[in-house]
Structures are given as structure tokens and as C-alpha cells.
Structure 1
Amino acid sequence: MSPRLPFLIAASLLTANAVQAQVALPPRALAPLAPSVVVQPALEASSSLPTAPLPPGASDRPDPPPPHRARRTAGEATVVSGRIQHWLVNPNGEADGIVLADGTQVAFPPHLAQEVTGLAKVGDTLQVTGWRAPGVPVMRAQSLSAHGRTVTDRPPEGAPRPPREPGALAALSASGTIERLLYNDRGDAHGVVLSDKTIVRFPPHVGARLASQLTVGSGLYAVGWGTRGTHGSAMEATRIGATADSLREVFGPPQAMGDNPPGEAAPPVQPGAASQAGPMTMRGPAGNPPPAPAP
């Protein structure tokens, strides 16, 4: 044997091992690819997909303003001028509004009653600056001017007024034809003016429930608690109906205005007159006397 033969065999074996080490492992031996390697081609592929065209001008269209920046379309400050037809008073006997000759109801807080009633009288021309309620002839006054003087609505000074004594309210009844509906700032009917200018107040939910019957020209009979004073009579109704025989409890369970429980007829009153009805049983929920109207 040639002395070089073992050397050549050993060299061949070393070469074969080196080549085998460079051969790729079988597919099952490959380690799983990292998620980033898989996701990246997908992102690149999706970026090449066609997209729906934007509407014309959409790229430079400004974002819509937030809701609170929207311009108010109702209740804008305005100025009206008119002749005072009559005062509106609350059941405590305080003036808290005016009806102008054109039917506008001007509302102001009761703590301004003395100033406003000293500013003008029925028949005088009054200029009012304030805000109109949407959909109803109501104006919330910010200032009222007449005869070169102005009363401006400001918070009352000093300590709050003490509650009105319950004994200061009298039991009243009234009947007559509805001349005008009274509304609050939200447009809810919460009272009526009768043909003799007596004011009958009731909760807004009662006005909503009896909307079809509380119409101008309809008859109304009411009993409740209130006052009679220089600027008129007003009451907070506890029972109300089209006639004395059809009274319903304002503070009781809902029932039609014509459904009067047996034995609940109210004392008669002359049509078109507000009078002290004397002692009577005023019942609220669960048969309890209703609370006196808030001052």
C-alpha cells in the first residue's frame, strides 16, 4: 500500500463531514419564524390594496364644532315695548309678571315685585330687555324700563326671605271663562287667567294632562289656597274641573276633569268671581292636606 493512501482517506472523510455540516436542516427542524417576520409582509401587502376614494373636498373639510359651540336659535336676547295690560301675581300675592297688550307674558322674579310695581302701572308703556322662550309668548326679563327709570334683575341682597306664614294663605274658589294660558320658560302650561283676571296656578304635569280641556274660552272651576290683593287674586289649585260638579284632585291620582268622586262637589261660587270659600277639606296624596305654596 502506498504510504500516502491513509492520509488521502482521512482527508476525504474530513471533507465529507464539513460538506454535511453545511446542508440545511429538514423543514421540521426549522425554528418557527418570529411574529414580526410574518406580520411585516402582511402589512406591506395591505398597503398596496386599493382604497375607496374620499368625497370631493373631504381632505380639507374642517371637523364639526362641539355641540356647546352651536349657535342658539331660540331664546336670543331681544327688546320689546308695549302697554301693560295687567299684572301676574303668584299665590303668595307677589307680582312676578306682566301681560302686555300684544299678549306677551313678561316674567321676573318675585324679589323685584316692589321695584317693578313702583316703576309703572297698568296702561303705562314698558320697555323690556330679556330672552324669549321658544314656541310660547313668554319673555324672561333682564331689565324693565319706564318713565326714564330701569329695574335690572339682580340676585336679592341680604339674607333669604323667611317662609310665608301658612295662615297668610286663604282658602279660595273661583270660576269663569279661561282668557289666557300661562306658561313657564320651558313652554309648559302652569296656569290660567280667568275672564275676571283671577289667576289659577297648577303643576305643569296637570297642564299637560288636561291640555285638551284647558283652552281659551272653556269654563273652569277651581278651589285652592291663595291671596287677594291690590294687583289681583291668585291661587294654587288643589281641585280643578270644568264645573263645580266635576272637580278632580290636582294632587291625587290621575283622572279625567269630568270624573268627580261622589260627595266631592265644592261650595257654589258666583260665575266669574273669586271668593273666600271658607273652611273646606283640601286633600292631597294619601288624604293629607296639601302643603302651602312655596314663597
Structure 2
Amino acid sequence: MAEILTEPATALAEPPPTRQSLVRTLTRDRLALVGLILVVGLIVIAILAPWLAPYPDQGRGAANVVDANLAPSLTHPFGTDDLGRDMLSRILMGARPALLISVSVVAAAAAIGVPLGAIAGYRGGWLDSVLMRVTEIFQSFPPLLLAMVVVALLGPDLKNAALALVVSWWPWYARLVRAEAKSLRERPFVAAAEAIGVPTWTILRRHIMKNSLTPVLVQATVDVGTVVLAAGSLAFIGLGAQPPAPDWGLMVAEGRSQIFTSWWVSTFAGLAIFVTVLAFNLLGDSLRDILDPRRHSR
């Protein structure tokens, strides 16, 4: 019985993908490779933005009205906005807050939803019913609409927008992990742990949540891009980042009134959001393929 308990994942779970299988997946699936390259590129840009931006002060919000609304050129490859700020610098400087808020929201949502889902799925009974009813109340609202209500109550601000997105995002992780937990609690290694008196929290942490990480990781990767889009949407309607913050959604909003005369202000910021969402969706799909043990047995 003790032998079954010590290594449940290795004894009963599918073998993890090897380095060779990861390389093979990337070489066969060109979209997966594209997604990985784009995500790595976005991370590098976010880290090095102050040194990559040709006008870092303008990227942070400093105005230069002399060069207002200049079309794309060699001096300003993405043009300038109505305050003369270089759009390339603004977009590069906006990569860091976009990724930071997205990763923070996803991490916080998972930190709330994963334990609650694990408890509900493993314990079952009235506790499962109560937790799932609460989860369903939050899920009954469209995520963006719920986030708008929370921000409207707390006040328009980037931190409040992040908190609002966490409130609207955690139920999805709770439902995802609950389904995994209901399946895992019937596995022999969980029964063995219960039989020898392993504490409930230890079973939840070592056997339920640990073995639920694969679908959570895949979902979290896709959600990073989705949160970028949601945060940009909140900024677009004035409930997210506030001027002069280098926020992509805010840049789209600032350029919408002059889309026919200074199209570059909204267009390049919108493309930045598009590329980010695409990159994390491609990476999430490739992770789903890599971590699916049925593919490694072929």
C-alpha cells in the first residue's frame, strides 16, 4: 500500500513528454513554433522596451506637440499621435504592462479557482453544491460585463481593472479543476492515501491539484492572450488604464476619433493586441498537443 502511495503520478499516470517529443512536436507543427517564437519575442520586448524604444520618454507619455499626427516615416515608423508621441515607442512600452496584468490576473484567478475546484470535486456532497452554486452565480454574468460592473464600483484604474478581471475569471478554473478532481478521486492512489490516513489537505495538494495541472496550464496559456484583449477592452471604454499610460487599448480608443485621418494610431495598437492574442492561442494549442499523452503513444 505504501508503494502505491509514494509515486502515484509515475505509477499510474501517463509518462511526461520527453525533450525529443517536444522538439518533434515543434518541428512538425509550424504553427506551434510560430506561437513559441512570438511569445518569446513579446517577453523580450516587454523586458527590453525602455532600451528598444526610440523615444522612451514619449513612450511613457511625454508630449511633443510639434510632431503631432505625423504619418509613418523613417523617423517615426508607426507615426505619431495627436500629442506628437512616437507610436512605436508607445507600443513597445505598452508590452510590459499588458503582459504583467495578464499574467497576474491569470495567476490570481488560478490561485483562487484551482483550490476551490479541487475541494469541491474531491469532497463532493453539500460542499460541492455550495461551491458550484457560488461559481455559477459568477459565471451567469458575461466576464467582461462583470468586470465592467466591478470597475465601475471601484473606480477606473489599472489595478481595479485587474481585480475586476480576477473576479470574473476564477470560476472557469474552479469548474475545470472540479471535473478533474471528480475523476481523480476514484483513482487507486487516492484510495490508498485515504486508507492509510493521509490528511485531506495533503491528498488535495499532492494528488488532486498536482495531477490537474496539465489542463490548467493549457487554459492559463490561452487565457493570458484573452486577458490582454479584455484589459484592452476595459481601457477602450475608459474603465482600465488611464492617460498617459502606454496601454494598447487606450491607444485604440485615443485614435478612434481620427481613424480616417490618422489611421496608424489605432491600427498599430490594435495589431499589437491581435498578435499577442494569436501568439498565446497558438502556444496554448501546441501545449495541449504536447501534453496530451495519447499523441506520444503514436
The TM-score by the shorter chain falls in which range? under 0.3
TM-score (norm 2): 0.19
Q: Which has the higher contact order (CA 8 A, sep 6+)?
A: 2
TM-score (norm 1): 0.19
